[in-house]
Amino acid sequence: MALFTTPTRLNPADPPPPNGRGEAARHSEASGAESRGAESLGAESSGAAPSAAAPPAAEPSATKASPAESAAAGSHAATFGRSALRHHLTNLLIALSAGCLCFIRRWYDLERLEPRALGYLRAVPPDRTLLLATVVAALIVTAIFWLAWTWVERHPTLFRRRLGHAIFLLVMLSALESVRRYWNSESSRFDTGSNLALAVLEGLLACGFVMVCFGRPRILFAARRVALMLTLLLPALAFDFTSDLFNPDEPEQFANRASLPMLPVSGDAPRVIWLVFDELDERFAFDERPADLDLPELDRLRSESVAARHALEISSWTAVALPSLISGRVFESARMVDARTLKLKPAGGGAEVDWRSQPNVFQNTRQMGRNASLVGWHHPYCRVLGDELVRCFALPSSHSTTALEHEIRAGHTGLVKAVPDLFRRAGLNLLDLFRTSEHSLSAQVNEAAVQREQQQQYFALRDRTYLDATDPSLGLVFAHLPTPHMFPIYNRRERNFDLRGARDYFDNLALMDRTVGELRAALETAGLWDRTAILVTADHGFRPDNWRGRTGWTAEFDRLTAGGTSLTVPLILKLPGRREHASFDTPISNVVASGLALAVLCGDVSTAGQATAWLEHHAQAR
């Protein structure tokens, strides 16, 4: 197709154009323009779209056309119309492909949200706002691209054509770079082969970008054909993203199990508050604490308690560590199945077991005639174990998966705000093309949102913990809190929650210390401190591989973690009415924490000597 398609004269008797040059000369000029590479976005060969939607009327003729000539003219007009329609349809499909590629990260997110197992990390059934927002955003960009190129074809200049081609190649290049960064951020290891292949493709597109600026569209042609072929995937994607609408998760799957009735309690029975601080590391809290970090409440508690100085974490993953702590049994892996089911693989071999089927500390507490409550983060505790507790309050982790974070955020903000947010993130992805840091702008924005959400979750979980802790009818209060887990949500210098001053993991350690002090004050005010045991431990220690280069990571942590990851976590037991300190130095897994809590509840452990003897016995047994 030539740059400007010129209709053939319909009547042989029509006079030649006023300039005296015939049809053959005009075709020759058009062919020359095509060979010079002035191509259309949607056509297979070069040239802009026809300058008008339909051929102009034939020039007046003195000779009346015969029926055969009239029929031939009609056939030619129909062919011309079909060609124009095909041209505009091709342009529309390429614009649709480019529009979808602008949001390729969100399509990846939507694909990752499909497995039913993700229901385990959701608080409510899947929300379709992100899907709708992505479709709307892609259609808006499609309309912009198609209308813009249609205008260029109707008002063609060399600059406008080349600018349109350059923007098209930039969209393709940005999409590939987004894919590369997405894979690297979601993968546990760097895939050299994939990164190299994508780098080669990006290099070709960059060369094509330069070439179209000089009127050489060879790479543009190939990129355009690829974009056109990608539209063949749209029906399959539409089916994939909508198929679960016909088989949705039952809302009942996301409902909490009914709580147990409250049992009468004795006024002088010992109580246990078991605090699991997520990612609390023994090394940084005590052994290698920075000189400028004060933890007075934790130090005070430890000075009045039995402290196991070499307690070992069960797993570096919360999904495995918490079920192990609650069940008092070591598991080595966990697999989410649906909103209420977590399968666990026991250490040492054996078939997978359902977490709900395993004996746990709450069942044993109930058998003693005592009431148990739970306040938790990450796991859907109330859907899995809620009917073994008199009270349960749980929130899903804000760190679940990037895709799920986007789904939850879109559901909270609504479609009207979700669409502009997608455009903002797409713009950040484009800016990332010109940055060398792997910590992309879009990742920084996402981490800031997770940081704010984690802070709000801490407030809710903290307040519920204080409420349960000061209720004398509860014999066991289990609280899993999201601090000092990264990201930093506290400013230790100003002692406030201004996130602009929250710098690193040590700020969250200070928040953990503040929490211990506030809990102590609440128990003393309620007159429950001397009859309450406080058991402090963690699911796992600090994990540098998870946080290196992300929000809250500083050069100081490069130095502190140069020797590797610490596997020790605190295990501190303050006994009711006791003030003496005892240290237990034999290495022991903190999986014994549930058994130790039960021993205090039933009265088997009430002094520091009994506690150290109990730990020694279980350390040898394991």
- How many folded domains does the chain comprise? 2
Q: pLDDT tens for residues 5-38? A: 333 333 433 444 444 444 444 444 433 433 333 3
Residues 238 and 386 in one domain: no
Give the pLDDT confidence score for residue 372 in this predicted structure: 98
Pair (227, 321) in one structural domain? no
**∠ CA(135), CA(139), CA(140), 5° rounding?**
120
Whether residues 468 and 609 fall in one domain: yes
Of 76-90, 345-359, 526-540, give the lowest mean pLDDT range: 76-90
147 and 202 fall within a common domain: yes
Q: Let me know if residue 536 belongs to a domain.
A: yes
Whether 264 is in a domain gets the answer no
pLDDT in tens, 301-335: 999 999 999 999 999 999 999 999 999 999 999 99
Spatial distance between the Cα atoms of 100 and 172, rounded to a whole number of angstroms? 11
48/189 same-domain check: yes
> Are 285 and 229 members of one domain?
no
381 and 518 together in one domain: yes
Within 10 A of 267 (CB to CB), how many other CB atoms are there?
6
Residue at 437 is within a domain:
no
Evaluate whether 98 touches 320 at the Cβ level (below 8 Å). no
Domain contains 345: no
221 within a domain of the structure (yes/no)? yes
* CB distance 410 to 420 below 8 Å: no
In this predicted model, which residue has the larger pLDDT, 435 or 484? 484
pTM greater than 0.85 (yes/no)? no
Task: State the CATH number of the domain containing residue 492.
Answer: 3.40.720.10
Note whether 151 and 277 are same-domain residues: no
Q: pLDDT tens digits, residue range 137-179? A: 999 999 999 999 999 999 999 999 999 999 999 888 888 888 8
Integer Cα distance of 508 and 483 in angstroms: 6
Please compute, for residue 202, the number of CA atoms within 13 A of its CA located in the half-sphere on the CB side: 16
Q: Within a domain: residue 262?
A: no
SS3 per-residue string spanning 154-190: HCCCHHHHHHHHHHHHHHHHHHHHHHHHHHHHHCCCC
How far is the first Cα of the chain from the last one, in angstroms, to the nearest whole number? 80
Beta bridge partners of 496: 491
Distance CA(215)–CA(444), nearest Å, equals 38
Q: Quick one: 318 and 204 in the same domain? A: no
Question: Does any domain span residue 44?
Answer: yes
Range of the domain at 135: 23-53+76-244
Q: What is the pLDDT of residues 554-576, one digit of tens each?
A: 888 999 898 888 899 999 999 99
* Token pair in block for residue 577: 């009415």
Please report which helix (H) or strand (E) contains residue 347, including its range: none
Nearest in space to 253 (alpha carbons), one of 349, 117, 372: 117
CA torsion sign, 83 to 84 to 88 to 89?
A: negative
User: Both tokens of residue 383?
Assistant: 């859907």
